[in-house]
C-alpha cells in the first residue's frame, strides 16, 4: 500500500508570495493533519481535516489555511509569506481501526524556503 | 507552541549499548506514539500505545504507556548504526474531543558509534 505523498518536496518563494502544498493520504484514510516543523519550535500542529471538514486547528495565523477534497486529498495554503514561514511542512493521514484507535502516518514533507 | 518534555536531548553511545528515553506531560494523554525521523524526511512510526500500562515491543524497541497517562518511555536494545536519528514522542491529549491533534516532544538525537 502506498504511503502518504506530498508535493512538491522542495519549494523556494519570496516574501509576500503565496504557496499551496498538496498531500495525498494513504488509501482509505479519511483524516489528514498538517504540521509545521522548525528548529526553534519543533513540530507544531496546524490543522486537521476529516470528511472535507476542518475538525481542529492549531495556533497559527489566518494566513495558514487548508481544505480537503472528496477523495481525502488535502491542500494547505499560506498567503503573504514571511521569512519565519520557512519550515518543513508535514502531512499525516490516519484511519480509525476496529479498536477505535487512530494512528497517524507521515509523508516525507515539503521543505519551504522563504527568501 | 505546546511541546512535551522529552529527555535526554541527545545521546552518544557505542554500538551494542541499550538506550532509554522518556516523555512527560502535565496533562493526561489518550495515546502515546514514538516516531523516528531521518534528516529531510518525515517521521516514521515505531510504536503506538493506546492504554495506560501498555507495554509494546517492535523488534529491539520497547515502549510503555505510563500508568498515570502522563508519561511514556522508549527503550532500544543492542543499538546498531542505523538507529541513528531523531526520536520523537507524540501524544493525543485527553482534552479536545474527537481529534487527531498530536503534541510532540522536543526530540532525542541518537548517535551510535560503530
Decide if B99 and A59 are in contact by the 8 Å CB cutoff.
no
Q: What percent of chain A has pLDDT over 70?
A: 97
Residue A70: pLDDT band with limits 50, 70, 90: very high
Tell me the chain B residues in contact with residue A42 when contact means C-beta distances shorter than 8 Å.
Answer: 1, 3, 104-107
For residue A115, give every residue at least 6 positions away whose Cβ sits within 8 Å of its Cβ, in sequence order, or none: A12, A13, A14, A15, A83
What pLDDT was estimated at residue B93?
86
Provide the grid cell at B99. 481529534
**Pick the residue with more confidence: B40 or A97?**
B40
What number is the average pLDDT over the span A17-42?
95
Assess A4–B contact: CB distance below 8 Å, yes or no.
yes
Residue A1: pLDDT band with limits 50, 70, 90: low
Residues B36, B60, B12, B16, CA torsion sign = negative
Chain A residues 13-72 with CB within 8 Å of chain B? 31, 33, 35, 41-45, 48, 55-56, 58-59
Q: Is B102 helix (H, G, I), strand (E, B) or coil?
A: coil
- Check pLDDT > 80 for residue A67: yes
Tell me the chain A residues in contact with residue B106 when contact means C-beta distances shorter than 8 Å.
Answer: 42
What pLDDT was estimated at residue A6?
98
Positions in chain B whose pLDDT score sits under 70: 96-99
What pLDDT was estimated at residue A73?
97
What pLDDT was estimated at residue A101?
72
Nearest-CA neighbor of A74 among A59, A56, A92, A96? A92
Alpha-carbon separation of residue B75 from A14, A73, B57, B59, B60 (angstroms): 43, 35, 9, 11, 8
Tell me the chain B residues in contact with residue A31 when contact means C-beta distances shorter than 8 Å.
Answer: 100
Provide the grid cell at A44. 507544531
Decide if A107 and B88 are in contact by the 8 Å CB cutoff.
no
Provide the grid cell at A23. 498531500
- Check pLDDT > 80 for residue A81: yes
Tell me the chain A residues in contact with residue B91 when contact means C-beta distances shorter than 8 Å.
Answer: none
What pLDDT was estimated at residue A62?
96
| Residue pointed to by grid coordinates 485527553 | B94
Nearest-CA neighbor of A39 among B87, B106, B82, B19? B106
What pLDDT was estimated at residue B77?
97
Amino acid at each position: 500500500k502506498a504511503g502518504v505523498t506530498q508535493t512538491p518536496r522542495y519549494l523556494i518563494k519570496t516574501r509576500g508570495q503565496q504557496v499551496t502544498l498538496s498531500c495525498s493520504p494513504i488509501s482509505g484514510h479519511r483524516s489528514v493533519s498538517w504540521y509545521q516543523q522548525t528548529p526553534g519550535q519543533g513540530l507544531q500542529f496546524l490543522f486537521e481535516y476529516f470528511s472535507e471538514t476542518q475538525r481542529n486547528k492549531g495556533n497559527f495565523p489566518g494566513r495558514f489555511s487548508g481544505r480537503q477534497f472528496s477523495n481525502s486529498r488535502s491542500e494547505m495554503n499560506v498567503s503573504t509569506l514571511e521569512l519565519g514561514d520557512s519550515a518543513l511542512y508535514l502531512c499525516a493521514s490516519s484511519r480509525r481501526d476496529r479498536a477505535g484507535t487512530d494512528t497517524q502516518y507521515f509523508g516525507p514533507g515539503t521543505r519551504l524556503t522563504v527568501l | 507552541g505546546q511541546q512535551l518534555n522529552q529527555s535526554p536531548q541527545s545521546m552518544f553511545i557505542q554500538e551494542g549499548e541499550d538506550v532509554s528515553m522518556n516523555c512527560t506531560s502535565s496533562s493526561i494523554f489518550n495515546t502515546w506514539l514514538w516516531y523516528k525521523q531521518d534528516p529531510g524526511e518525515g517521521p516514521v512510526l515505531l510504536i503506538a500505545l493506546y492504554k495506560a500500562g501498555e507495554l509494546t515491543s517492535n523488534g529491539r524497541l520497547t515502549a510503555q504507556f505510563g500508568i498515570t497517562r502522563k508519561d511514556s518511555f522508549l527503550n532500544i536494545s543492542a543499538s546498531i548504526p542505523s538507529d541513528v536519528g531523531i526520536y520523537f514522542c507524540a501524544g493525543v491529549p485527553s482534552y479536545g474531543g474527537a481529534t487527531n491533534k498530536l503534541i510532540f516532544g522536543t526530540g532525542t538525537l541518537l548517535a551510535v558509534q560503530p
